[in-house]
A and B are shown apart, each in its own frame.
Chain A
Amino acid sequence: MALQSLDILRRSATPTPTPQARNPQEVAKLIDTTVCIGCKACQVACSEWNELRAEVGTCVGVYDNPTDLSSQAWTVMRFNEVEEKGKLEWLIRKDGCMHCADPGCLKACPSPGAIVQFKNGIVDFHQENCIGCGYCISGCPFNVPRLSPADSKAYKCNLCSDRVAVGQEPACVKTCPTGAIQFGSKEDMIEVAQTRITDLQSRGYDQAGLYDPAGVGGTHVMYVLHHADKPTLYSGLPDNPSISAVVGVWKGMLKPLATLGVAAAGLFGFFHYITVGPNRADDEDEADHGTPPLPPAKGTKNKERENAL
């Protein structure tokens, strides 16, 4: 992908820097859960634009359908009924990739160029480089990537990077009938969110706020929540997401430690050999010679072998 509008900031499993000269603006998608009516037009638009067809599911008693993200469903609406302040609330959240500034999937990915982060903030999977190990699934703090059963490659929302590259908004944004999904520069989206939040707070939602979690460096998909103090109400949106410390050790400290250990073993051997020298068993002990050997001791499988060469 050599599109100039898709300059790459970070590339999976690539220790050297990517081109850094151009600095395009960071983009963001703002999802206002307080305006969402749960119509699923975004799911349909996503499916159409990206040529995805999830299996037609069955009703499981709630509106969620498909019930989970998959390689064929990059965004799903999650419906949750909660009681807040003695009032029933129907919280609907459009789930999908959050396009973290510090993406756990990219950190975990072992295959060079299978996951890239564009300068504009979009985190994209390039399936032609994907080896199907599923490390990205373990790296993601939001449980978003899904392995396709058809080709064992990982898929997720790419924020319509192809559309954004040519100056268009993502398909879900384009189709949303209530304006609950907006797209623009991250700066602008934060401003739009602030206006909404001020309005919500003036109308009794004093905990309304923006979900742009700092634990992952901020995200390029942000939510306006009525209850920003309790993100988990929204079908398990994590309160304080960050890349797991276990993944951090695995992809961080373990590497230099391992290099040190393996190198030490190799170097020790080399220098030991050239200083101490080989350990030879010289046959100077003549006690053996002329003494016919006895038969092997009982209870041992080892056969003595006299070998006249």
Chain B
Amino acid sequence: MKTSEKLIQRYCAAERINHWIVAVCFVLLAISGLAFFYPAFFWLTGVFGTPQLARIVHPFVGVVMFLAFARQFFRYAHHNLINKEDVKWMMSVKEVMKGNEVGDIGRYNGGQKGMFWVMVLCMILLLVSGVIAWRPYFAGYFPIPVIRVALLVHAASALVLIASIIVHVYAALWVQGTIRAMVEGVVTHAWARKHHPRWFRQVTGKETGH
């Protein structure tokens, strides 16, 4: 056990709160949404008390998630523009999976950036299709064939998002020291130097370590 470790602030308190609002909303939505999707999981509507309540509350929680995510979008979009290093990362993802870092990674690697844009796309699809299918407030304004497509798009994009979030959570667990970034807001120098060398140099002004 070290008596002292050097830490870098990665996420400020506002960013962490923002992230966990989205995360809690997502979990509630995924649980109730899966209940509406899989008959065998219908009992999961209990997450909101009763099936009727789940149906009523689900879309409102969805709107909260979208708004909170939109805030995240404006925080991070400019960090997630894909560059040549990211393409290199994506091409050598096999090597990365073995725990060997590839490329001179900045604040986010190719996988994280890809994840970001998948989430953005899913969130937009979920909001639009969710509003179209939202009874009793909005669905009545749309023709039935449009609602049918919305229901399909809503389910499909939700499932893509759920699978993506599983990857997102796993990646955070796998790369040790990552959870701390979103809980305490800090990462160690070693973490930053190994996983995000270019970002490490930027925030510390150091050219060492690589």
Chain A residues near B195 (CB, 8 Å)? 281
- The interface residues of chain A, by DSSP majority, are classed as loop
Q: Looking at the complex, which one of A258, A272, A304 makes contact with B9 (CB distance below 8 Å)?
A: A304
Q: Which of A177-185, A218-226, A245-253 contacts B (4 or more CB under 8 A)?
A: A245-253
Q: Shortest beta-carbon distance, A112 to chain B, in Å?
A: 6
Chain A residues near B35 (CB, 8 Å)? 110
**Given contacts A296-B203, A305-B7, A305-B8, are A131 and B135 in contact (CB under 8 A)?**
no
**Given contacts A133-B55, A304-B204, are A246 and B166 in contact (CB under 8 A)?**
no
Cβ of A287 and Cβ of B209 under 8 Å apart? yes
Cβ of B204 and Cβ of A294 under 8 Å apart? yes
**A301 CA to B78 CA, complexed, in Å:** 13
Cβ of A297 and Cβ of B202 under 8 Å apart? yes
Cβ of B190 and Cβ of A14 under 8 Å apart? no
Q: Shortest beta-carbon distance, B84 to chain A, in Å?
A: 21
**A246 CA to B144 CA, complexed, in Å:** 11
A residues 258-272 near B (Cβ < 8 Å) are: 258, 261-262, 264-266, 268-269, 272
**A309 within 8 A of partner (CB):** yes
B residues 171-210 near A (Cβ < 8 Å) are: 173-177, 186, 188-191, 193-195, 202-206, 208-209
Cβ of B5 and Cβ of A288 under 8 Å apart? no
**B73 within 8 A of partner (CB):** no
Q: Looking at the complex, which one of B4, B136, B164 makes contact with A307 (CB distance below 8 Å)?
A: B4
Q: Looking at the complex, which one of B139, B190, B203 makes contact with A283 (CB distance below 8 Å)?
A: B190
**Given contacts A133-B36, A281-B177, A281-B193, are A247 and B148 in contact (CB under 8 A)?**
yes
Residue of B nearest to A289 (CB): B6
Q: Looking at the complex, which one of B42, B136, B190 makes contact with A152 (CB distance below 8 Å)?
A: B136
B residues 97-151 near A (Cβ < 8 Å) are: 97-99, 133, 135-136, 139, 144-145, 147-149, 151
Cβ of B42 and Cβ of A112 under 8 Å apart? yes
Chain B residues near A307 (CB, 8 Å)? 4-7, 186
**A147 CA to B139 CA, complexed, in Å:** 11
Cβ of B155 and Cβ of A297 under 8 Å apart? no
By size class, the interface of chain A is: 35 or more
Chain B residues near A20 (CB, 8 Å)? none
**A112 CA to B54 CA, complexed, in Å:** 14
Q: Which of A1-9, A21-29, A58-66, A135-143 contacts B (4 or more CB under 8 A)?
A: A135-143
Cβ of B9 and Cβ of A302 under 8 Å apart? yes
**A149 within 8 A of partner (CB):** yes
Residue of B nearest to A131 (CB): B55
Cβ of A265 and Cβ of B135 under 8 Å apart? no
Cβ of B203 and Cβ of A110 under 8 Å apart? no
**A111 within 8 A of partner (CB):** yes
**A35 within 8 A of partner (CB):** no
Cβ of B135 and Cβ of A134 under 8 Å apart? yes
Beyond contacts A131-B55, A265-B164: 10 other A-B pairs, Cβ-Cβ < 8 A, are A132-B55, A132-B136, A133-B135, A135-B151, A255-B37, A258-B155, A265-B166, A265-B167, A281-B195, A301-B12
